[in-house]
A and B are shown apart, each in its own frame.
Chain A
Amino acid sequence: MKKLVTLLLCLSILLSAMIMPAMADELEGEIVFWHSFSQGPRLETIQKAADDFMAANPKVKITIETFSWGDFYTKWTTGFSSGNLPDMSSALPNHVVEMIDYDAIIPMDPLIDEIGRDRFNPAPLLEMTKDGVCYAVPLYSHAQVMWYRKDLLEKYDLEVPKTWDELKVAADTITKGENGEVYGCSVPFGIGDLMATRYLNFYVRSAGETLLTEDGKANITSQAAIDGIKYWVQMYKDNSPADSINFKVLDQATLYYQGKNAFDFNSGFQIGGVEANSPQLLDYIDCAPMPKLTVDSEILGNETSNIPMVIWKNSKNPQICEAFIKFLYQDDYYIPFLHSVPVGMLSAFVDTASNPAYLANEKVQKYQHAMEVISTTMQSGTAIGMEYGPKPQAGLLTSQNVIETMFQNIIINNVDVETAAQEAEDTLNELFETLN
């Protein structure tokens, strides 16, 4: 009898030892996920992934809340001071720098290693790394390229511009020829957005300069910046609707979507916009690399946006967040997510470009050239102001409308370009001091 009891006891201990780890591995808890993918198909693919994850993990609840990027910034900054933050969220590269600065997010290196560090494009990882620690997982990337209308170039017997001067000539020709029906090249200077900063950055980067110096100071008075300011002011005066002085990103993009802008600078998101607004133009749009200073000059820099996901330090269930992120990267969910804005969101993984499931998409096939241009541009790009690594100053450079106000002052108040640039540089440097 004694032997039997001992045997049963041993068996039960053995069984418990086998079952316990399985139980411990079972995820349990609730997480809140904030993201900014408010458009229909993107929202739906993320929701489907969350639903399937919850079905596979019945004790997990994922609550998704969506905000536009503008609202998202206000939401997380105020949420941080009041302690009202989610468990995980999407973010913009500049946000990540600020989040790291405020010690608000956790390192992601173990998760990146688990997914496969070699699979990720290296540049986005570097952009989110501080002191050797990576704080965000790249979700998708896109780069700014020059979009044009093939039919208009053909109509006016123009080549795709390769330099800024060629672009000016082509835009002038189209504006004149279309007599107000189509603008040659609209230039957006509206406050409340970063568009003027972005356009100036295009020109400055093509000259190998940067808007932020290596030591984090504003650099608006370099020769490249002065030339860039003059270039865009002239382009605005000659080829832009007057109202574009107030244009934000959507106003500017809408002009192209509706076929009223011949040249525009944007990512692959243009395709979806044109499809929704003017599907008859879908066969006439394409993109090319950013113009350069001269035909022979090298490509010295571009603007890339790498959209990552972060896990907040206050999360009570970071292991659920990590598991969900890993789940999201499975082909069954990640590829439909990328396909929800084909060519607009390019994969964070190196190997997706050769993945048959990804390439099977009709839009991806149709706009293969655009995808190649954007992918190539991504290799030489960074976020604005991040050319020397992640800096909190980059956030202020793009969010404070200093460069937008500078352009408006030059156009409306006839302020001299050099004076306006100096004032903008001083204002930015003064703002940077608030970071200390």
Chain B
Amino acid sequence: MQITNKDLRKKPDITGFLFILPAVLVLFLLLLYPVFTSVYYSFTSKHLVRPSYKFVGFDNYIKVLSDPNFYKAFMTNIKWTVYSLAGQLLVGFTAAMALHRIKKFKSFLRTILIIPWAFPSIVIALSWKWILNGVYGFVPIMLQKLGIVSEIPQFFSNPNLVFGTLVFVNIWFGSPLIMVNILSALQSVPEDQYEAAQIDGASAWQSFCSITVPHIRNVVGLLMVLRTIWIFNSFDIIFLLTGGGPANITTTLPIYAYNIGWGIKQLGRSSAITVLLLIFLLLVCALYFKLLNKWEKEFN
């Protein structure tokens, strides 16, 4: 009997399914299981240590949403993400453009500039904590000795400086990744398009807007999605540098969730915070992807 294309389409491809099964299992165990567990715990009175717990419906969500500290942490989180992302994009983009232009020592400079990204965040946090220390720190003492400031600046205790200091450290840490990605996107732009534009009498700005931007837009968009998620969820740098203080000025949602889950051991309530955080990030991602699709259609 002859097998037609129609029959082939109808027959389920077991072999293909078996091939992807390990990946699906890994994905389920590493990604979906923790998410489902968090969602489940968010409806329970789960305690970090005590074994027994019960279903409490939306109690945890009500408690979280009626806590003014949650909104304060949420707003701090938004500010932290927007300023850090904008700074990282600006520095990363500028560095990538500069590296793309220069001819000599490109590889060497690229390697040097990627160093902050290669360091573990604990090393970065402790190094900056020491460099900016208000008693022994090299930078504050140098600023005073140079006469730039009259008193030693307190980067981690002055309420007007502490948030900016954290954002600065995060920009310093995150910019290299943006730089490397944008640089590779820049290198993929065909040179002949620039030459054609030059022959047509286009200015450097016109070439940048009409050739460079459309080519790197999708890469930048994707970077923005990824960095938004990472920065919004970032915990280590803030926790290690300030722990959310002083006076909760730098408490973001992950720090707030940690304090609830590991501090007072209310894992159920902490899970509710993480679920709310997840929902918010999914909405932001949906918005970003809509924008990315639009750009892609325009480019094509």
Contacts and interface: CB of A to CB of B under 8 A. Distances in A.
Interface of A: 74, 77-78, 80-81, 98, 102, 189-192, 241-246, 255, 260, 396, 399-401, 404-405, 408-409, 411-413, 431, 434
A400 B156 contact: no
B57 interface: no
Nearest to A409: B247
Interface string B242-282: 11111111000000000000111110000000000000000
Given A242-B157, A243-B134, A255-B135, A396 B247 contact: no
A245 B263 contact: no
B151 to A, nearest CB: 9
A102 B244 CA distance: 29
A434 B49 contact: no
A19 to B, nearest CB: 44
A241 B134 contact: yes
Given A408-B245, A413-B247, A434-B266, A77 B158 contact: no
A396 B263 CA distance: 8
17 contacts: A81-B48, A81-B50, A102-B49, A241-B135, A242-B158, A243-B134, A245-B157, A245-B246, A246-B245, A246-B246, A255-B135, A401-B263, A412-B246, A412-B249, A413-B247, A431-B264, A434-B264
Nearest to A413: B247
B69 to A, nearest CB: 10
A334 B216 CA distance: 68
Closest 7 CB pairs of A and B: A243-B134, A408-B247, A412-B247, A408-B246, A192-B243, A242-B154, A191-B245
Interface residues of B, number: 25
B264 A400 contact: yes
A241 B134 CA distance: 8
Contacts of B244: 191
Given A78-B48, A102-B50, A412-B159, 19 more contacts: A74-B262, A77-B48, A77-B265, A81-B49, A189-B246, A242-B134, A242-B158, A243-B134, A243-B135, A243-B157, A246-B246, A401-B263, A404-B245, A405-B245, A405-B248, A408-B248, A409-B247, A431-B264, A434-B265
A403 to B, nearest CB: 13
Interface of B: 48-51, 133-135, 154, 156-159, 242-249, 262-266
A192 B294 CA distance: 46
B49 A246 contact: no
A246 B264 contact: no
Nearest to A76: B49
- The interface centre, meaning the residue of A98, A241, A243, A255 with most chain B CB atoms within 10 A of its CB, is A243
